[in-house]
Amino acid sequence: MSNNVNALPRHVAFIMDGNGRWAKKRGLPRTAGHREGAKVLRRLIRDLSDIGIEYATFYAFSTENWKRSDEEVSALMKLLEENLDDLVNYENENIRLRFIGGRERLSPLLCEKMQKGEDKSRDRTGMTVTIAINYGGRDDIVRAAKKSAELISEGYLKPDDLTEDLFTSMLQTEDIPPVDLMIRTGGEIRISNFLIWQISYAELYFTDTLWCDFGKKDLEKAIDEYMTRNRRYGDAR
């Protein structure tokens, strides 16, 4: 495309929304939507990797999603447990897997699988896939604030030496670049406490397409639009 102004986004983040509505439309329980959504996630990881995206981050469960019924929460947790094995075994795709979000409330089995996945894929050189489970942007910032407060109270850091870059490195996304493109499916126009610090200059893309219907064509459309946007960063260009 001749009017592209940006290169491919390095980091694409996804708010995978609309699974419940997808299931409802078909007269199925919400959990059937989540099951289908997990398939879409696995397919999309391949597509992203084929396109050449370096970092992809997926919102799987928010700190607010605990408000849902016990039945839905346990179905979501079980699906995560089931799908992690496949995600980890993306040997050929050379995917490096990471997780963000608080692990305190997660089951020992899920935590064990997450840890194994990270350990097993740590040295892979392909796309970095980050899955956000029990993640909240505000929680991420408070955890980083606590870390910096500890460093200061222990005398390792002076308040004046706390810079934006240093603070960024204390977030759970420590070694991941800022988000270039954030895509939300499912029609809502909000961030729902996802990577609120990390999207400060991201391009936002909202689509009515439900997550379960989101495919490679939709991804390419979002990326094409991103590539034509003038990011400007406060400059007057």
| Binding footprint of ligand IPE on the chain (CB under 6 A) | 15-21, 59-62, 65, 76, 186, 188, 190, 192
Q: Does 36 bind Mg ion (CB under 5 A)?
A: no
Choose one: 1-9, 17-25, 44-52, 113-121; the region binding Mg ion (CB under 5 A).
Answer: 17-25
Active site residue 65: yes
Active site residue 83: no
- Spot the catalytic one: 3, 4, 6, 17: 17
Which of ligand IPE, Mg ion, none binds 60 (CB below 5-8 Å, type-dependent)? ligand IPE
- Spot the catalytic one: 65, 139, 193, 213: 65
Question: Under a CB-based contact definition with an 8 Å cutoff, are residues 130 and 173 in contact?
Answer: yes
Distances, alpha carbon 16 to alpha carbons 91, 159, 194, in Å = 24, 38, 11
Q: Kindly state the helix (H) or strand (E) to which residue 45 belongs, with its residue range.
A: helix 30-51
Q: Which is nearer to ligand IPE, 71 or 150 (CB)?
A: 71
Residue 57 Cβ vs ligand IPE, minimum distance, rounded to whole Å = 12
Q: Does 17 bind Mg ion (CB under 5 A)?
A: yes
Q: Which residues contact 132 (CB under 8 A, 6 or more apart)?
A: 57, 58, 59, 60, 61, 62, 99, 100, 101, 194, 195
Residue 5 sits at φ, ψ, to 5 deg, of -110, -20
**Where do we find the tokens 């002076």?**
158
Residues assigned a catalytic role: 17, 65
Point out which residues bind Mg ion (CB under 5 A).
17
